[in-house]
């Protein structure tokens, strides 16, 4: 283990306990056994086995933080267990794997938080067991972050809603069995939005696969809804109260993306340092050149600063706070750290980093989706400013 290995670049966290350490070992073993040997091939194939969801469920990864009544694992679990899961999954060097495997992490929470007991009992057990997949459908071709102006409509017709509209950039949109859809059920603006659970095989639902710069193994889709009839019992929460659920979902998504981004930065630092210590130029290892040492030190500085903010935000969330401004700034800080470290690692690795099958090359391709998804840098900075009273 060299001085800038993945483990040694993680600042000690006073919130970690023996339970967190044991959980890290469990997830790390799963990643090393079930993911790392195959991740390059899966990326080239543009998919990973659906069975992986069941295997992840078997170790408690899919059910982490969800109610025991539905097959989840919640006893003794806190936000730091989720952060550890994000960090360990990132060691495989594939954001596409994380996005595809953990897609329920944004599709299921609105149902758990707002849905009826019947809806939760009907869906959650199969999802948490890895038998069924769920996708969140918010973004539309007409806009992403401007969720208050969603155009997809759901019109009440007796004991059904009739849904018409289009969603795009939907993670797991091609494979999902269930779709958590944000739709307009009322007047214009934030006050007219609702969440509906749409079964993906409903008549009138069609899906188009999208090709991307990165996240190759995670399928992404545009989903069309044409006169799709959805039982009124599939309404998630009260009608026209969906906006609050959308916003609450974003906070958790941003924290998870930040943890993942910082971990990807640590992967880049680990691989760049290892290469610099064994690659020789002009008669000595790269790491003995001051300019390269300074690159590695700058990467470490970014990682440490971002990790400190991550742990502080997570501690506040665990204590019941919703620090919207800090979570927004954290997301920007983390994704910029990932971008900086991916760039510097690629520069240190040179031609080796440009080759497919290299963790740094894959992470480099995935920088932009992390900076855009879950709220772009521009939206995050403006939200933080407004939350701060500016």
* CATH architecture of the domain with residue range 7-128: Orthogonal Bundle (1.10)
Average pLDDT over residues 248-261: 92
Contacts of residue 313, defined as CB under 8 A and 6 or more positions apart, other chains included, come to 255, 258, 323, 326, 327, 330
The predicted structure's pLDDT at residue 144: 64
The predicted structure's pLDDT at residue 347: 96
The predicted structure's pLDDT at residue 101: 97
Least confident of 14-23, 161-170, 306-315, 368-377: 368-377
Stated length of the chain: 390
The predicted structure's pLDDT at residue 58: 97
The predicted structure's pLDDT at residue 300: 98
**Percentage of the chain lying above the pLDDT 70 cut:** 99
Q: Which one from 34, 87, 88, 253 is the annotated catalytic residue?
A: 253
Averaged confidence pLDDT in the chain = 95
The predicted structure's pLDDT at residue 148: 77
Residue 330 and residue 377 in contact, taking contact as beta carbons nearer than 8 Å: no
Q: Is the pLDDT of residue 224 over 70?
A: yes
Question: Tens of pLDDT along 132-154?
Answer: 999 999 999 987 667 778 999 99
Identify whether 253 is a catalytic site residue: yes
DSSP 257-308: HHHHHHHHHHHHHHHHHHHHHH-EETTEEGGGSHHHHHHHHHHHHHHHHHHH
Q: Is the pLDDT of residue 123 over 80?
A: yes
The predicted structure's pLDDT at residue 283: 86
The predicted structure's pLDDT at residue 245: 82
The closest alpha carbon to 307, from 258, 344, 360, belongs to 258
The predicted structure's pLDDT at residue 77: 96
Count the neighbouring beta carbons within 10 Å of the beta carbon of residue 3.
11
Question: Tens of pLDDT along 67-112?
Answer: 999 999 999 999 999 999 999 999 999 999 999 999 999 999 999 9
The predicted structure's pLDDT at residue 280: 82
Q: Which residues of 342-378 are buried (b: 16+ CB within 10 A; e: fewer)?
A: bbbbbebbeeebeeeebbbbbbbbbbebbbbbbbbee
Helical (H) or strand (E) element with 199: strand 193-199
The closest alpha carbon to 82, from 14, 29, 131, 19, belongs to 19
Question: Tens of pLDDT along 274-325?
Answer: 999 999 888 899 999 999 999 999 999 999 999 999 999 999 999 999 999 9
Helical (H) or strand (E) element with 155: strand 153-157
Q: Select the more confidently predicted residue: 186 or 142.
A: 186
- 198 by DSSP, 3-state: which? strand
* CATH architecture of the domain with residue range 134-240: Beta Barrel (2.40)
The residue written with tokens 């919640």 in the block is 74
Least confident of 1-5, 273-277, 385-389: 1-5
The closest alpha carbon to 342, from 322, 364, 375, belongs to 364
Backbone angles phi, psi at 168, to 5 degrees: -145, 165
**Residue ranges of the domains in the chain?**
7-128, 134-240, 244-387
The predicted structure's pLDDT at residue 146: 74
**Percentage of the chain lying above the pLDDT 90 cut:** 90
Q: Is the pLDDT of residue 26 over 80?
A: yes
Question: Tens of pLDDT along 263-286?
Answer: 999 999 999 999 999 998 888 999
Q: Is the pLDDT of residue 1 over 80?
A: no
The predicted structure's pLDDT at residue 248: 80
Task: For 244-387, give the CATH class.
Answer: mainly alpha
């Amino acid at each position: 283990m060299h001085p800038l290995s993945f483990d040694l670049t993680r600042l000690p966290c006073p919130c970690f306990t023996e339970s967190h350490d044991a959980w890290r070992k469990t997830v790390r073993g799963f990643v090393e056994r079930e993911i790392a040997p195959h991740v390059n091939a899966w990326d080239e194939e543009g998919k990973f086995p659906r069975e992986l969801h069941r295997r992840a469920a078997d170790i408690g990864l899919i059910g982490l933080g969800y109610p025991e009544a539905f097959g989840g694992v919640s006893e003794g679990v806190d936000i730091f267990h989720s952060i550890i899961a994000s960090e360990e999954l990132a060691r495989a060097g594939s954001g596409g794997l994380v996005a595809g495997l953990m897609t329920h992490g944004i599709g299921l929470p609105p149902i758990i938080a707002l849905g009826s007991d019947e809806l939760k009992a009907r869906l959650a057990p199969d999802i948490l067991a890895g038998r069924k997949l769920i996708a969140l459908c918010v973004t539309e071709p007409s806009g992403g972050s401007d969720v208050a102006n969603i155009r997809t409509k759901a019109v009440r017709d007796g004991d059904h809603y009739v849904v018409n509209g289009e969603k795009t950039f939907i993670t797991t949109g091609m494979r999902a069995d269930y779709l958590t859809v944000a739709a307009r059920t009322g007047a214009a603006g934030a006050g007219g939005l609702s969440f509906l659970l749409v079964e993906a095989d409903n008549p009138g639902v069609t899906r188009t696969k999208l090709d991307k710069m990165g996240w190759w193994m995670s399928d992404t889709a545009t989903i069309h809804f044409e006169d799709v009839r959805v039982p009124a019992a599939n309404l998630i929460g009260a009608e026209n109260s969906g906006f609050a659920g959308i916003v609450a979902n974003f906070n958790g998504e941003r924290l998870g993306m930040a943890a993942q981004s910082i971990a990807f930065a640590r992967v880049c630092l680990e691989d760049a340092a290892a290469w610099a210590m064994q690659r020789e130029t002009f008669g000595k290892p790269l790491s003995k050149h001051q300019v390269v040492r300074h690159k590695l030190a700058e990467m470490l500085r970014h990682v440490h600063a971002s990790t400190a903010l991550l742990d502080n935000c997570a501690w506040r969330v665990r204590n019941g706070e919703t620090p919207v401004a800090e979570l927004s700034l954290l997301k920007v800080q983390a994704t910029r750290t990932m971008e900086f470290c991916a760039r510097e690692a690629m520069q240190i690795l040179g031609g080796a980093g440009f080759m497919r099958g290299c963790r740094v090359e894959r992470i480099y391709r995935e920088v932009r989706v992390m900076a855009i998804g879950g709220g772009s840098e521009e939206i995050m900075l403006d939200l933080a400013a407004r939350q701060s009273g500016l």
